[in-house]
């Protein structure tokens, strides 16, 4: 099974900051990686698929990059509504797997 490791597990940032979250796969997953956002007491929201493609309606301040085993999610200018937990997920092969999550908190 493919293990997904996110770092950091949490971070503190201010509105306007550039935020970067990393995700590492235990083996090559090409670009079959997605990112999701989850706010407290809510279901996940899909942000990015295929490592860098934004789902419709996702603000352009979100971007993704990477391939193989190393990936990043970047928020170019953090907005108040972006404080949430972010998860990466590989769908290169079954069983699918998620990272442990990164909580973005207000500094």
Partner 1 sequence: QVTLRESGPALVKPTQTLTLTCTFSGFSLTTSGMCVSWVRQPPGKALEWLAFINWDDDKYYSTSLKTRLTISKDTSKNQVVLTMTNMDPVDTATYYCARTYSNVAGGAFDMWGQGTMITVSS
Residue that the structure tokens 């083996």 belong to: 27
Among 71, 78, 82, 97, binds partner 1 (CB under 8 A): 97
- Nearest distance in Å: CB 70, partner 1: 18
Closest CB to partner 1 among 68 and 100?
100
Q: Is 71 in the site for partner 1 (CB under 8 A)?
A: no
Q: Is 83 in the site for partner 1 (CB under 8 A)?
A: no
Q: Is 34 in the site for partner 1 (CB under 8 A)?
A: yes
Q: CA 90, 7, 15: angle at the middle one, nearest 5?
A: 110
47-to-1, 26, 29, 62, 76 alpha-carbon distances in Å: 24, 22, 18, 8, 14
């Amino acid at each position: 099974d493919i293990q997904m490791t996110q770092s950091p597990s949490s971070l503190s940032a201010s509105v306007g900051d550039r935020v970067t979250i990393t995700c590492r796969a235990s083996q090559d997953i090409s670009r079959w990686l997605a990112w999701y956002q989850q706010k407290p007491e809510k279901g996940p929201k899909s942000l990015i698929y295929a490592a860098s493609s934004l789902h419709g309606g996702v603000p352009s301040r979100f971007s993704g990059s990477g391939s193989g085993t190393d990936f990043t999610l970047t928020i170019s200018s953090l907005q108040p509504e972006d404080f949430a937990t972010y998860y990466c997920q590989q769908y290169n092969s079954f069983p699918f797997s998620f990272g442990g999550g990164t909580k973005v908190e207000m500094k």
